[in-house]
Amino acid sequence: MLQWLLGLFTSSANKTAGRQVDQDATVEPPPPFLRRESMLDNHQQVAAYVFSVETPAAMQAHTWQASTRKFFDSVLIDHFVSDKLAEVLDKRLAFLPLSPAGLEYPRLEQLPRENLVIEFDPPVGVNGAEYDRAAALARLIALHDRGFRLCCGYALAEQGLPEALDIAQFINLGDVTHQSPPDLLARCRLLATRYPESRLVARNIDSIELYQACQQMGMHLFQGRFLTHRGARSGSKIATYRMVVIDLLNAIKRQADFEELAGIAWRDPTLAYRLLRFVNSAAMGLREKIDRLKTAMVYVGRDELYRWLTLLLFSSKKPDHLDNALRENALVRAKLAEQLAGGRMPPRERDEAFVVGILSVIDALLEMPMQEALAQLSLPVAVTEALLHRQGKYAPFLKLAIACEESDQATIKALADELGMDAFMVNQRHIEALTWAMSFTEALEESHLGE
């Protein structure tokens, strides 16, 4: 991986890969936007991604809800077949929530079994439609027998499908924020007793405290905004290592010479060592090893050095898996913002769009309000405006990148419309950004440059 690490890190033009459209499909609803959510395990590592294409709110109570949901499920499955998303994720799992109709989509059989999890937890009653339970169960059993892993909602037992939980490798506990702790604990104990081989999945966790509480209750996988929305801690202090990185970033922005930059880096020998390792890695293709930090910095150049240092903000002298998970999320945001800016901005501004994406989680990283975190950095006004007020030339790209993690179809579409982009264009850039981030993370871990 090291031989192309630098190539992954540098800016690149957007690819306009073509995609076959099923000519036999009747496309009534507009194409949906792909949404991605991280899922962490008990070790605070990104263990999975949840991919979804939600039915717009206006259609959820409509007569066409079932047919619209079927179409959206087919689009989600097609993404995984055509774009080979599952292969990109390496050791991570991919959860695909499907409706009863989605389980019947023919191309589902073409998906890889290795790291894919088919999720079945359809709403019923007021917020959902009724469905043929016998047919759904038969289909789940068939998929299980064909080697697919399943995640089933715990409520299926109450809907007359307890057999679905018997074959599920994962059991979805749903939105834990709206369940009382005693009831949630009792449910976890009951499920752990009845299905000891299944892993429990918690959704919509909105704080680190709730994440830790769910860990204590015996849950295994955790999804929610807690990763990127950590609460500020009073009196938070920035680690010495990060202060040196921040000083370097500020010095680069004021055009300090390389002698001064090297002097700042040597205030923390570990940081200097990492920078030397980066430059001397196989990614650089050097014939002779560089042993002087100043020479290494000159070779890399200010712009690449700045981008690399923003990533080193996520490093610490002791391994911190939560920060690594946050870095992975920031990388996808950053690359997606850069990709979205492609063709609309010159290279230097696309680089700044990337930096905006990386720094969009600096408040969570430093556990302090965004305004206080940004006060530590000397940033261009346009970057600060995007991060602090979601305004300015970089704001549309950042907002759309974040919306692909957090928002509903209507919000994503509105932001895409502002940029004159349709679902195919946004989804293609989203997949490219995810592919890049996964490849870069893998190369980073193999080279140990992020440690």
10-residue stretch averages of pLDDT, the chain, 451 residues long:
42 38 47 91 93 64 60 85 76 91 91 91 68 93 96 92 96 93 95 96 92 95 91 73 92 93 91 82 65 86 89 77 91 96 92 95 92 92 96 97 90 94 93 89 65 55
Distance CA 379, CA 406 (A): 26
* Rounded alpha-carbon distances, angstroms, from residue 451 to 246, 281, 323: 17, 14, 11
* Beta-sheet strands, E only, within 253-359: none
> What pLDDT does residue 317 have?
64
Quick one: which H or E segment has residue 39?
A: strand 35-40
Closest CA to 312 of 250, 252, 244, 384: 244
Q: Is 344 exposed, middle or buried (0-12, 13-18, 19+ CB in 10 A)?
A: middle
Contact predicate 431/34, CB 8 Å:
yes
Dihedral sign for Cα atoms in the order 123, 126, 129, 130: positive
Determine the topology of domain 240-447 in CATH. Hypothetical protein af1432 (1.10.3210)
Contact predicate 370/362, CB 8 Å:
yes
Closest CA to 92 of 168, 51, 36, 39: 39
Residue-wise burial string across 79-112, b where 16 or more C-beta atoms lie within 10 A, e elsewhere: bbeebebbebbeebbbbbbbbbbbbebeebeebe
Quick one: which H or E segment has residue 151?
A: strand 149-153
> What pLDDT does residue 383 have?
96
> What pTM value is reported for the model?
0.86
Quick one: which H or E segment has residue 364?
A: helix 362-366
Closest CA to 151 of 107, 121, 111, 194: 121
The identity of residue 400, as a single letter, is L
Q: State the pairing for strand pair 35-40/46-52.
A: antiparallel
Return the C-alpha torsion angle 52, 53, 59, 62, nearest 10: -60
Contact predicate 46/40, CB 8 Å:
yes
pLDDT tens per residue, range 219-232: 999 999 999 987 76
Dihedral sign for Cα atoms in the order 245, 381, 434, 59: positive
> What pLDDT does residue 259 have?
93
> What pLDDT does residue 27 have?
44
> What pLDDT does residue 30 have?
67
* Rounded alpha-carbon distances, angstroms, from residue 9 to 22, 28, 86, 308, 443: 35, 40, 22, 8, 10
> What pLDDT does residue 19 have?
39
Contact predicate 218/199, CB 8 Å:
no
**Beta pairing partners, 150:** 118
> What pLDDT does residue 17 have?
38
3-state secondary structure of 160: coil
> What pLDDT does residue 20 have?
40
Give me the residue spans of the domains in the chain: 240-447
> What pLDDT does residue 26 have?
46
3-state helix, strand, coil in the chain (%, to 5): 55, 10, 35
